Structure 1
């Protein structure tokens, strides 16, 4: 299965250079994901702290009220100046704290998110200046500037993702081509009739190459995201104000990991019968298809009503069992995906409502937590594909034995 593509000199260029190109596209996408995560923080901070302009006052008020207001203003002018000085000191101290936090975030960069940090800083510098998106309040022009920055991140992501999807499809088809002609060479040398050989060569090979390619890229993407986002989520864990968790360094990373491992264990037991059911179902499909193929040349001796009814009854029985088991597995999977959404918000809510963090940090943490948790849960989200691949792999291994396939 693998040697026909990766151990062949004929397909070496496609196998290895193509794989490198796919991994490079994943690297670019991971960096853009990190840039989007940084954008979340600044964007929601802008929404939380708008600079509200007061309406112009009309001159319809009485002179007495204006005079009293002036006198009150004169009395409070000294107090306002002292308040302004205190607020300036507080603002400078907050800016210093933000700068130190930013420096700590810079120390947590890895080779998978360093490019994203530099790219995002260059975008904010070109639109906001040297200090970046660091103000006490924001105007509508700042909002529009962040929308433009988002487009500079999102549009390249769309282009790279589209190219990656297209090339991955071509790559899987090349893998199928290599396996098809490799198997045909051995299959033609066998004189005995091998049951389901047409399905193995035509359908299973294509599904195997397609699923392995998609799962492989999904797992590599998950590893890249973990390397890029774990340092970010680790640093954001310092803002947690929940008992027990606030005393654990990097608590959000551990929570995401434990949730994913627990979900994987439950998924294993809930879907433990699915691979066997998929295998039996494909055998029933092969027998039904075989009878129809023979009937194309000899309708008198094949595809009789009794035979077709018996074959389809077995097929129907297998599908009912398969649908039932997938039904309760999907209940668990959808429930897990829906309930996990509120976990990071529950963790960060106490810090938000005591004013320790802003909305931007909450949204940045929520996105980073989702990236790390979904990467840890890559086996859960792809469980259906994994089940199908296990069934296909078992059938192809049996086919290799039947055709006496020898690896290079």
Structure 2
């Protein structure tokens, strides 16, 4: 599944995680303050100003612009170092450019979209402050001021749309290349696996679904991590407006405390409610494959796909689906209940500060948006649980499939293909 596309996948992903952690810690601990000596911003009109910048707003803006340029320069060097090293290691590997450079591009595009979210969060704060002034002091702003503020976000949105469209286009090609690599890997070993139950489906359908789901979950995970890194400091700073929580009283950085506790609670709650779903999804694909296989045999052989046999096989399909529906019933009760209640958690936490008038409407919007961004990041498992369940069932099938490679042509036994937690539906007969 991974070795067909990625060069040394365990080392590749481990090195990516370690290199990312090293770069992030390096930036915050040392590199951020080294821009005055190492930044090339002076060559592009973004050099660091000298003197006390706090006394001059123009110098302060120049300092911010220079620091941003230095951050982009540092990020570019970090990207090129990692990609260059792995492309050198993987020279001659058929899929190295797509798996290494393509993955790096997806990571970059994900980070860029998070940066757009940060810019929009800042814009909303100023825009709602403008609205508050207009509503509280009629005539204090002109219609031109209002439209001018709206026009500033137009550029951000156009760039965001263009990047989102390009991202989906590129990701579609990336996923298909991964599927192509898995397809070549399995078909080259067809003589060893052709007798395995559902072999054609696993190559034709499961490889496509596996690559698509892993890519989507991977991008979602990266987006969650990057969003957390971007918005947690923002929420930390905005927590200064909130001095106390209802029923609890004063607590430092109250909003950060609330979002972490609420997210951890939801993650464990949803995991407990959906603990049986992966096994049932896996067993569901198994009984569907047995039913489909008998129908295919019936197209070419008159003695196959008899009404009694089909009825028996479809009974197994029906029973497993009903078990799945029942488990999803209480899982969705918990899931949707938690998500809907969660919409009001920040408003409840902000109640004392709102009543005390501790901030403006614009600051409130920034707080609510930052809270939701951080909350969604911490709730990655909650938001992705049903997709993870589907991925686990596909992974089990492909893993059992791969275990047969190299053992010679034979029919895989049901015992081999079923995991111990695969559910308790009756075993279907393929005859």
- TM-score, L = length of structure 2: 0.72
Runs ≥4 in structure 1, deviation > 4 angstroms? 243-246
Match of 2:60 in 1: none
Answer yes or no: is 1:324 the counterpart of 2:408. Answer: no
Match of 2:348 in 1: 346
In 2, Cα distance between equivalents of 1:394 and 1:345: 42
In 2, Cα distance between equivalents of 1:354 and 1:140: 31
Q: What RMSD in Å do the two structures reach over aligned CA positions? A: 1.6
- Greater gyration radius: 1
Match of 1:193 in 2: 195
In the TM superposition, residue 238 of structure 1 has moved relative to its aligned partner by: 0.7
Name the stretch that deviates more: 168-177 or 220-229. 168-177
Contact 2:294 2:305 in 1 (8 A): yes
In the TM superposition, residue 252 of structure 1 has moved relative to its aligned partner by: 1.2
In 1, Cα distance between equivalents of 2:146 and 2:232: 29
SS for the counterpart of 1:2 is coil
SS for the counterpart of 2:189 is helix
> 1:274-313: per-residue Cα shift (whole Å, max 9, x none)?
0010011010011011111112222x11111111111111
Name the stretch that deviates more: 252-261 or 33-42. 252-261
SS for the counterpart of 1:321 is helix
Match of 1:37 in 2: 121
In the TM superposition, residue 246 of structure 1 has moved relative to its aligned partner by: 6.6
Aligned equivalent of 1:23, options 80, 91, 107? 107
In 2, Cα distance between equivalents of 1:246 and 1:328: 35
Match of 1:266 in 2: 269
Superposition pairs of residues 290-301 of structure 1, within 5 angstroms: 290-298=293-301, 300-301=302-303
SS for the counterpart of 1:404 is coil
SS for the counterpart of 1:4 is coil
In the TM superposition, residue 249 of structure 1 has moved relative to its aligned partner by: 2.9
Match of 1:230 in 2: 232
Answer yes or no: is 1:184 the counterpart of 2:270. Answer: no
Contact 1:240 1:246 in 2 (8 A): no
- TM-score, L = length of structure 1: 0.76
Match of 2:12 in 1: none
In 2, Cα distance between equivalents of 1:176 and 1:237: 46
In the TM superposition, residue 223 of structure 1 has moved relative to its aligned partner by: 0.3
When residues 226 and 245 of structure 1 are mapped into structure 2, their CA distance, relative to the original with a 3 A threshold, is farther
> 1:194-241: per-residue Cα shift (whole Å, max 9, x none)?
111111111111111110000000000000000000000000101114
In the TM superposition, residue 349 of structure 1 has moved relative to its aligned partner by: 3.0
In the TM superposition, residue 270 of structure 1 has moved relative to its aligned partner by: 0.4
Match of 1:126 in 2: none
Gaps of at least 5 residues in structure 2 are 8-89, 408-431
When residues 267 and 368 of structure 1 are mapped into structure 2, their CA distance, relative to the original with a 3 A threshold, is same
Q: Aligned residues, how many?
A: 320
Gaps of at least 5 residues in structure 1 are 54-136
Aligned equivalent of 2:133, options 49, 56, 74? 49
In the TM superposition, residue 350 of structure 1 has moved relative to its aligned partner by: 2.3
Contact 1:45 1:358 in 2 (8 A): yes
In the TM superposition, residue 361 of structure 1 has moved relative to its aligned partner by: 0.7
Match of 1:159 in 2: 162
Contact 1:226 1:375 in 2 (8 A): yes
Contact 1:234 1:249 in 2 (8 A): no
Superposition pairs of residues 122-161 of structure 1, within 5 angstroms: 137-161=140-164
Superposition pairs of residues 239-258 of structure 1, within 5 angstroms: 239-243=241-245, 247-258=250-261
In 1, Cα distance between equivalents of 2:359 and 2:225: 29
Match of 1:399 in 2: 401
> 1:89-130: per-residue Cα shift (whole Å, max 9, x none)?
xxxxxxxxxxxxxxxxxxxxxxxxxxxxxxxxxxxxxxxxxx
In 1, Cα distance between equivalents of 2:176 and 2:253: 43
